[in-house]
Chain A
Amino acid sequence: MSSIINYTLHLADNALILGQRNSEWCGHGPVLEQDIAITNISLDLIGQARSFYQYAAALIGDGATEDSLAYLRTEREFNNCLLVEQPNGDWAQTLLRQFFFSSYQFYLYRYLLNHPDTRIAAIAEKSLKEVSYHLRWSSEWVIRLGDGTDESHRRLKAALDELWSYTGELFLPAGYEKDLGIDVASLEVDWSKKVKDIFDEANLAVPGNVFMQTGGKSGMHSEHLGHLLTELQYMQRTFPGCEW
């Protein structure tokens, strides 16, 4: 598959997998307003995933659809980063994951506004408004939890220990990014500054030198992804070839 297809799938997979994870909160949030907020973010991400899958399907041709791409590829064919497939854990872990990812997505989509592929640029432009809100919402929660009570601070710190090692991969270009000249490494400065600013308000220290996990972007995932896909793909696998 060409690099542009792989890259489009990477963008779609990131959005789908995080959307799927966030949707697990629906009906189970800590308070009704926040249950609605996280469900809304899930809905935005699934919308973004659909736009990217539709574009990838058009590029692939041969009967590919948004659903065949989301429901009929295997673990090793998914190009999402490791961060988005990590389990929800508690509210602190979900929120910190969202903050890391939304701040990355914010700078990435802003960068993609100038991408020569006009379809990708258009989806990035349309999604940027949503992502700006996700970033603001998750930043506020990181501050709230970091600054709130001893317990919330402790939980946020535990979430940081859990998630930090999955952030390095975001800025290491995969083969398809190199081919397309997408300089993800250049986003790291803005991202780090954002993290530092929010962590300062949350009384949280940015971790020092930590070994970074990689592989998700080129199909080497954690064990979590297989289970997530088993659930996500259940209907299409059980009843192949049906309209829904």
Chain B
Amino acid sequence: MPSPDFETIFQDKIDQEIKIEPKDWMPENYRRTNTRQISQHAHSEVVGMLPEGNWISRAPSLKRKAILLAKVQDEGGHGLYLYSAAETLGMSREEMINDLHSGKAKYSSIFNYPTLTWADIGAIGWLVDGAAIMNQVMLTRTSYGPYARAMVRICKEESFHQRQGFEALLVLSRGSAAQKEMCQDAINRWWWPALMMFGPRDTESTNSDQSMKWKIKRKSNDELRQNFVDMIAEQIKTLGMKLPDPELKWNEARKHYDFGAINWDEFWQVVKGNGPCNKQRLDARRKAWEEGEWVREAAIAHAGKRAERAGRS
């Protein structure tokens, strides 16, 4: 009898929509790709706490402060589930964090843009979380079980955040001239970076084919980006604001919105570390980690002493 071909069994499972679980055999590259993607996703949640955290102390009302705190706290929670999901693939949280701090691991480039006004908080909720949801809804059906399950929970909270972001902008859009201006300015600044969140064009995306075959991804970057544009182009009508793209236009033949060219030079510059806040974001994460070291050591030392005392008595 021929020995079973692990790779064939693995691909059969994927084709039959059976989830891959931590103890199942998987190709090394499947493990690596998932580890990279899930840890990158976890890092994005944690780094993403910083631009929004920038407005917690200055939130314009107590209700908005509470909503923002709860939102940023949810993101920390998402970071936790995702680190746990990635750990099932055999990498420790500490290793992942070290890779983030050394620059080896990436996080979503969108968080390298600054939050300059209060309206940015609304725009992040509406556009950035909106773009993230497109990707995340797809990921609830991704082939790796722990990742798919983490995404189900995360998606529920993210859609809530998106509605809150939109609602915050809606209030601005109906407010004073200064509030309307703030609202439009934030949309102008976040629109193009939000479109870049879906990653390079399909013709230039290096990891896509294998990821589609393994059902890590189920829709291409360009497909997701188009869905997002179609959704936002409609929603912005309620706000009475404009998207900063003169080429944005409904195309009846395609049944989609056409939109202008993305500045990919900017995208690659930010990926390479040259965005307006790349340095500040990583510095803030490293500082928190380094300044927390004595706290983590104390917790471990105390737990050890307590265990020892319990053992003696």
Interface on A for B, CB 8 Å cutoff?
Answer: 16, 20, 23-24, 26-36, 39-40, 42-43, 46-47, 49-50, 53, 66-67, 70-71, 90-91, 143-145, 147-149, 151-152, 155, 231-232, 234-236, 239, 242-244
Q: C-beta contact mask, B57-94 vs A, less than 8 Å → 1, else 0?
A: 11111111110011011001101100100000000000
Q: Does residue B116 face the partner (Cβ distance < 8 Å to A)?
A: no
CB distance from B186 to the nearest CB of A (A): 14
Number of B residues with CB within 8 Å of any CB on chain A: 49
Chain B residues contacting A23 (CB-CB under 8 Å) are 56-57, 65, 69
Q: Among the listed A39, A42, A47, A144, which residue makes an inter-chain contact with B302, where contact means beta carbons less than 8 Å apart?
A: A144
Chain A residues contacting B59 (CB-CB under 8 Å) are 235
Q: Does residue B299 face the partner (Cβ distance < 8 Å to A)?
A: yes
Quick one: closest A residue to B51, CB to CB? A27
Known: A39-B69, A231-B57. A66 touches B302 (CB 8 A): no
Q: Does residue B1 face the partner (Cβ distance < 8 Å to A)?
A: no
Q: C-beta contact mask, B156-170 vs A, less than 8 Å → 1, else 0?
A: 000000000000100
Chain A residues contacting B287 (CB-CB under 8 Å) are 28
Chain B residues contacting A20 (CB-CB under 8 Å) are 57
B58 and A36: CB pair below 8 A?
no
Query: CA of A153 to CA of B50 in the docked complex: distance in angstroms?
Result: 30
Stretch at the interface among B9-17, B21-29, B268-276, B289-297: B289-297
A50 and B66: CB pair below 8 A?
yes
B69 and A46: CB pair below 8 A?
yes
Overall SS of chain B's interface: helix
A27 and B294: CB pair below 8 A?
no
Known: A149-B297, A242-B175. A91 touches B292 (CB 8 A): yes
Top 8 closest pairs, chain A to chain B, by CB: A30-B292, A148-B298, A152-B298, A235-B60, A27-B49, A30-B295, A27-B53, A244-B60
CB distance from A156 to the nearest CB of B (A): 9
A31 and B296: CB pair below 8 A?
yes
Quick one: closest B residue to A202, CB to CB? B302
Query: CA of A170 to CA of B212 in the docked complex: distance in angstroms?
Result: 63
Quick one: closest B residue to A34, CB to CB? B295
A235 and B118: CB pair below 8 A?
yes
Query: CA of A236 to CA of B176 in the docked complex: distance in angstroms?
Result: 13
CB distance from A230 to the nearest CB of B (A): 10
CB distance from B214 to the nearest CB of A (A): 29
Query: CA of A40 to CA of B72 in the docked complex: distance in angstroms?
Result: 10
Q: Among the listed B62, B66, B178, B295, which residue makes an inter-chain contact with A31, where contact means beta carbons less than 8 Å apart?
A: B295
Query: CA of A122 to CA of B222 in the docked complex: distance in angstroms?
Result: 54
Q: Among the listed B69, B72, B294, which residue makes an inter-chain contact with A149, where contact means beta carbons less than 8 Å apart?
A: B294
Chain B residues contacting A27 (CB-CB under 8 Å) are 46, 49-50, 53, 72, 76, 284, 288
Query: CA of A148 to CA of B293 in the docked complex: distance in angstroms?
Result: 13
Query: CA of A75 to CA of B56 in the docked complex: distance in angstroms?
Result: 20
B295 and A26: CB pair below 8 A?
no
Chain A residues contacting B284 (CB-CB under 8 Å) are 27-28
* Interface contacts beyond A30-B292, A35-B49, A234-B58: sample of 5 additional A-B pairs, CB < 8 Å, sorted by A: A27-B76, A36-B76, A148-B301, A151-B294, A152-B301
A67 and B62: CB pair below 8 A?
yes
Q: Does residue B179 face the partner (Cβ distance < 8 Å to A)?
A: yes
Q: Among the listed A40, A47, A152, which residue makes an inter-chain contact with B297, where contact means beta carbons less than 8 Å apart?
A: A152
Q: Does residue B171 face the partner (Cβ distance < 8 Å to A)?
A: yes
Q: Does residue B153 face the partner (Cβ distance < 8 Å to A)?
A: no
